[in-house]
Every structure is written in structure tokens, then in C-alpha cells.
Amino acid sequence: MVFFVNQILLLAESILKKRVPLKYVIQLITYCLPAIIAQSSPFATLVGFLMCLGRMMSDNEILIFRASGQSYHMVVKPVLVLGLAISIGSFFVNDYLLPLSTIKYNDLYRKILTSNPAVELQSNSIKRMNNTILVIGDVKGTEVSDLVIFDRGDDGKDRIIVSGPADVTTSKEEGVLMSLSMDDSVVSFFDRDNKNTYDFLESAHSKLNLFDSEVFGNSTVTSPREMTSFDLGKEIKLMKSEENIRERTLNVYRMEFHKKFSIPFGSIFFAFLAVGLAFLFGKHNGTTIGLILGIVICVLYWAMMIMGQIFSSRNGVDGFWMMWLPNLVIGLGGTVFYLILVRKK
């Protein structure tokens, strides 16, 4: 619910207030569901098991279970089996439904932007695209009070475009996402190889086209997020055979490949961790303690996962370790707590 409500609020901020038809908004939310399920499954597993086992502990059900001669191992088995079942289901969503929904989401979002380009522009904000940065003033309907654009021209020179009032319109040209009709614009051209000279021009009226590739990237190239693990594996093997492939690009694909496994199968590690935590700290107010511990651990886990993606994509750290390290930390913590629990008996 936390992930889902967050997604609704983001869409409400960027889509609903631009008067996009409600049916498109509902479709976008539907296409977001696989990503929400894939990301939240490990966390839901931890919180669910902590609250369930903590309640059993606080109600003395585990005490009765132990008094009948059963060991903690008998509790761990069904927990791990259920954790594995959740992982398999989550993997199916992450590996098949997520790429499919991502493609559908991008197609629909491209359709929305084509019919209403102003959706992409927010008042008093900075919009970063692939090769362009827009500094946006007040936006009222399709009118923008002022614009500052940083990009690079076809001649390889850097450009800074400063414009007064601009009107955002839909373009009928293929591949063009939106057209900016600008008044009182000033353009400066800079050459990085020759910083002592620059070109300068002024225009009372000018028109600038922004291509959809600036927002969505190259539409002819499938992104790792739009691939299944099988397709990603084949793509990685193909990239390794190429001589001029960048190591950082290859590492990003490798990171996305391991991410398709590490996030869904994190449910097993979280399920195992929940056993030790619930039985050690759930004697009093087990449900409440389980909920609090679950939220704290989920935040730390998510922070490690985000940092791992940043280090892998920007610094070239091995994608395998960055994606599996959070699970290994959770597994190590679960092992430590379970050993403490067994020794206490």
C-alpha cells in the first residue's frame, strides 16, 4: 500500500493536474502494479512474518509448541517454504509482467505527451532529458513564462538558449515530441575545444523542436528493464563478444540481470530473518514490535539496494555484488539471530 499510494501521488502531481483523461491515469497505475509488487514483496514478507510470528510469541503459542517437544526447526521449515513460494511468484511478476508493463507504460505515456506536451513541463523546475536540460519558469496551460535550455547542437557545440514567453504545441512531424515557439530568445554557442571564441544570436521569434528520443531514449533499442532475464542473458553474451563495448554499459546490463533475481528471492532471506527477530523480541507486543522492526529493516535494505545501483551504474562496481549484498547482509543477520535463539533454549 505504501508503494502503491506513493505511485498514485506521483501520478496525481504530474498527470492529473494536467487534465489527462481519467482512463489513461487508471491504465498508467495498472501498468505500475508489476513494479510495485516486485519491489514490495520482500518487505511485505518480512513485515507479515514478523507480525504473525510475533503474535504467536506474545500469545504463548510458541511456548506451547516448544513444551510439546518440538524444536524451532519445525517452525523454520514452513516459513522458508512460504518464503520460497512468494519468491517464485514475485520472480514471475518481475521477469515477465514487469518488462511487458514497462513497454505498455512507455507507449501510453508517449501517446499522452504527443497529445498534451505540457504534461512533461512542471512550473519552476529543472527537467533533465538525455542530452538536454530545461530550466522552466511558470507554466500555465501550454504557456511557459521563461525558459533556459542547455543542450548540444548537431555541430557538436554546446548551446545555451534563454527565452522569454514560450508556447508549447504538439508537432505533427514524426519523432518530434513537442515544439517550443519562443519569443525574445538569445542563443550562445560554445566550442569545448576552443574556449576563447563563441557565437551569439538574438531572435524575436524562434521555434525549437524537442524529439521524443530526448525523453524516452532511442525507441529502437530495448532497455534492460524491458527485457526478461533470458533476453538479458543473451544480450550480455552478445555484448561480451563485441570489442568496442564499454565496460560500464556491460556492467549496467549485468546489474539489471542480477536485480531480476535478487529482489524477488530476497523474500527467502527476509522470511528467515523474521523467525529470529520475532521469537527474540516478540514476547511483549509482538505485532507492534514486528511492524516497527520490519519498517526499519526495510528502509535500511532499500537504502543499500539504491546505493548498490548507484555504485554499479556510476562507478562500475560489479553488479552481482551490489545487487546481492543486501540479501547477504539480511541472510547473515537472520543466521546470527537464529543461532542466538537456538542457544537460549
CB under 8 Å to 92, separation ≥6 — which residues?
none
Grid-cell match 515557439, residue found: 181
Q: How many CA atoms lie within 13 A of 107 on its CB side?
A: 11
Residues 197-248 pLDDT 10s: 788 888 888 888 877 766 665 555 677 878 888 988 888 888 888 877 777 7
Q: Could you write out the DSSP letters of every residue in 16-69?
A: GGGT--HHHHHHHHHHHHHHHHHHHHHHHHHHHHHHHHHHHHHTTHHHHHHHTT
pTM value?
Answer: 0.72
Q: Is pLDDT of 133 > 80?
A: yes
- One-letter amino acid at 206 equals S
Residue 117 pLDDT class (50, 70, 90 cuts): low
The candidate with the shortest Cα–Cα distance to 63, out of 72, 76, 73, is 72
Residue 194 pLDDT class (50, 70, 90 cuts): confident
Residue 261 pLDDT class (50, 70, 90 cuts): very high
Query: Which of left, alpha, beta for 245 (phi over 0: left; psi -120 to 50: alpha)?
Result: beta
- Is residue 319 within 8 Å of residue 258, measured between CB atoms? yes
d(CA 57, CA 59) in angstroms, rounded, equals: 5
**Span 249-271, average pLDDT:** 90
Separation of CA 335 from chain center: 29
How is residue 285 annotated by DSSP? Answer: S
